């Protein structure tokens, strides 16, 4: 089983709203990722969690706040977003974080289509 689930599938929010995206995997993976994808572009890395700790923040604005409550769950809290933040938000997981000379393939969820009005 290589399934990563994400909820909701679609989300429309105003610029003053607070919402959260959720991601779950039960593969025992210890690294989880958030990517942002604009139309006709490849995914762009936002955050990396390694063993439930934030290890990478790719200069993402503070209106995006990640959280990893346990090894199976990853949340992305949204607050005061801008219309340009509208995109497909993808969660991914891998067996472990990258190490010296070792890389693990990443499995993606179906994404949350976010529209900010």
Contact positions vs other proteins (CB under 8 A): 2, 4, 6, 33, 35, 40-43, 45, 48, 55-56, 58, 88, 90, 92, 97-98, 101-111, 113
Q: Is 62 left (phi over 0), alpha (psi -120 to 50) or beta?
A: alpha
Could you tell me the smallest distance in angstroms from the CB atom of residue 16 to other proteins?
27
Element (H, E) at 47: strand 44-50
If the CB atoms of residues 4 and 78 are measured against other proteins, the closer one turns out to be 4
Q: Which two tokens stand for residue 1?
A: 């089983």
CB of 90 to other proteins, least distance (A): 5
Q: Which is nearer to other proteins, 85 or 106 (CB)?
A: 106
Do 94 and 106 touch, CB atoms closer than 8 A? yes
Nearer to other proteins, 20 or 98 (CB): 98
Q: The dihedral of CA 16, 117, 22, 95: what is its sign?
A: negative
Question: To the nearest whole angstrom, how small is the minimum distance from the Cβ of residue 35 to other proteins?
Answer: 7
């Amino acid at each position: 089983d290589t399934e990563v689930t994400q909820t909701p599938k679609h989300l429309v929010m105003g610029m003053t709203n607070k919402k959260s995206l959720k991601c779950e995997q039960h593969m025992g993976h210890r690294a989880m990722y958030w990517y942002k994808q604009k139309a006709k572009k490849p995914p762009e890395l936002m955050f990396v969690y390694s063993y439930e700790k934030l290890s990478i923040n790719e200069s993402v604005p503070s209106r995006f706040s990640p959280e990893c409550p346990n090894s199976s769950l990853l949340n992305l809290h949204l607050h005061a977003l801008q219309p340009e933040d509208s995109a497909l938000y993808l969660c991914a997981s891998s067996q472990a974080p990258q190490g010296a000379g070792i890389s693990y393939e990443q499995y993606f969820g179906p994404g949350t289509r976010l529209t900010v009005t």
